[in-house]
Chain A
Amino acid sequence: MNVHRRLLLAGGIAAPALALAVALGVGSTALAIAQAWLLAHVITSAFLDGAGVGAMTPALVALSLVLGARAGLGWAAELVAVRISGRVKADLRARVLAAAVALGPRLAAERSTARTALLATRGLDALDGYYARYVPQLVLALIVPLAVVVSLAFVDLVAALTVALTVPLIPVFMALIGRMSAAYRDRRWAALGRLAHRFADVVAGLPTLRAFGRADAQVATLRRVTDVYRVSTMATLRVAFLSAMVLELLSTISVALVAVGVGLRLVNGDLGLEVGLFALVLAPEAYLPLRRLGTEFHAAEEGVAAAREAFALVDETHGSRLRAGAPSGAEPPAVLAALRVEGLWVEQPGREVAAPAGLSLEVRPGEVVAITGKSGAGKSTLLGTILGFAVPTSGRVAVLGGDRTSMDVTVLDTGSWLARVAWVPQVPYLAPGTVADNVRLGAPGASDTEVADALASVGLADLPLDYAVGERGSGLSGGQRRRVGVARALARRSELLLLDEPTAGLDAEAEARVLAAVRDEARRGAAVLLVAHRPGAVAEADRTVEVRWASLAEPDAPPEDDAAARDLEAVSA
């Protein structure tokens, strides 16, 4: 669907804005015509007839009312536009973020999070220009020229014809401007996004850059990037402004034509001064909305470009194979008897490999199964597939119920399934707030005692619950961050616990505490998958399964090892 139609009609949110813009447009047009007539009348009477203030009191009073009403209408229009724009922005923003979160696990790889955040905030803010100025101006541009031509036709056909012949040229140039500025707008928005991403990346990497003495070199690079941006933007602006210039020339020359034409006919006595002045005051009003529309166009187009990108992102989630956020899947079995992975292959985007390649395993409540394998073998991907963040290329991940009924995780209701699982990624996400806030992210109802117990079980008993955590977990050491992530998972008391290297970065004592807590969870009845490198963690497991990858570039080559053929129970520690 056309982006303008979606912005103006979708959901009826903007319908009141349109109705109001039309009402205000009609009102202000009528006032403009009244003002022109009153001015022409009073000036003519005073100049040619020598009329005094007393004789023209009614006209002067009427004029003051018209002028006041015009000012009031402008004010009302602005207030209403901001309200409408706020509602549309909030609606779009919520939809974009929900879509981005649903795509979340893949988003980081395919789209920069900073760019998406920029789109949802500053990008959509540009819609203010669209609703507050562009749409009302568009309505005026449709009504005013017509009304002016009709009013002029009653008094002076020549002036009316001059305006009627030149005004239609303006939309023609508008179309040209639209085509030319499309390139300008797309490039400007893309460049802004790239610059934002580049800034975020470079700023995040400043410590690294400084360590290698490259920070100062980046100053030059950034200046160069900005300069390239300026040169390319100026090249497009030169064209975009050129068409705007033609537009302005058309309107000012037309006004000059009307003025000169009226003057010459006045000299010949074909026309009265009152009519002449009326034409002079009214003629510019015909071009003003169109001219303003030209200038509002750029501001509006930035919002339209952002809206287009937002709609694309929202639409993408609807067509996506990802289940995250899928509303109505099947309910998982009431009792989890086992999680079974059967011949799982997952192709890695951008790399011609499958990782894992042909993996099979089973884990039951009370068991701790260690997952080992080289870097890039697909250990984290395995956990992602169980969570539903990645889709198997072949093979499947199945949940076994109490009666050994087997359900594929891809058909399960996402919310219901994830509610049964606790997951600790390699680098746990920590939200700005307190340590307790972070533990409660996965267990909103946990009491202070439960939160404290979870922290104590991973050896963080000394960490106050209200200890402040900054962005990306600043304020905590790397080991503490990981353990808060584990405590968060423990507090969920889930049936399936997925841990991605939970003891990396921990000293031996802390590692032992974490592993003991994991063992306690298994004793409580959880099924545990533990991705592990270190012997301590592997030794804690009941069994070990090794994940392997295979090259897809050489299809004849066997996987690193034919893991698929291996008996599920054969690889025991």
Chain B
Amino acid sequence: MSAGFQAVQWNRKKIVYDAILLGCVTLFIGTFMTVGALRNPPADAPTWINLRIKAFGACAFTMLTIILMIGPLARLSPRFLPLLYNRRHFGVLTFLVALVHAYSVVDWFAVQGAMGDLMSEMTGSPDYGKFIGFPIKALGLTGLTIMFLLAATSHDFWLAFLTPRVWKALHMALYVAYGVLVMHVALGLMQEDRRVFIPLLLGGSFALVTALHIAAAWRERESAQSGEWIAVGPPASIPDKRARIVTAGGERIAVFRDGDQIGALSNVCAHQNGPIGEGCILNGLVTCPWHGYEYRLEDGCAPPPFTEKLATYRVRIRDGIVEIDPNALPPGTKAAITL
């Protein structure tokens, strides 16, 4: 298959996903603003803007927390995979919400005629040497800049242009953005507002993201026993025309079942490193969920005239349990078995 640029293909699921996402964001911000205005009715424009700053900031931080939870959740349970497929849309919307938060801060200064210039605001502060009192606007701007870079390069064009390796490394910066933004809130709002739920929510969000990553890594570590055949489970435990993903020596392996045929392939699509094991078998071919690249289960080869090949793994049945050899065979090697 050609590795050329392909336009993003919209489908009904993506539209429904985006509609739900937009609905949730609107509900969050609407509820926040309404409850905030009812509890402490804003007396003037700056107070209204202040409420808007908090509403959009809280929403963006919550969205970022959820985005970082999706990866480990999907590794722990396939029920969360639908969230993974459209995570880029989630990310772009998070950047837009954060942008409104930042714009509102600028707006707050503007309506009071207290606008400084950005350069002196960022470089002229004497508080960079302090911990408590560190300029939180610099932290916020750093997080926003990283989110902008990721949102701007989220399209498949950039994945193809930058190469999957560079693109993925770049998008790992989301973790840096999250760390910076946790400190943005910890050194900002948490210092000014003594209510107990603020550190609880902030620390709880951070702890949850951390715990999920540890749990997902722990689960993969348990299933990885380098050098030995890896037990996958009874054949029936692999859903028909789907895969179970196991890990061996740091590599993920997708073990597919197509009726009574079982085969194991590298989980990394030869096109753009998509997660093959999260796809399914369509028309007798393993189909990558990202762009529909197809491979034969028996030998990991794309059907002619295409030339892509995946590494395969030896499979055997022992005591009614499917086992795979974690040592990869050369791409295109026939290795699937029939029950």
Chains A and B form a bound pair:
no
B: residues with CB less than 8 A from A are none
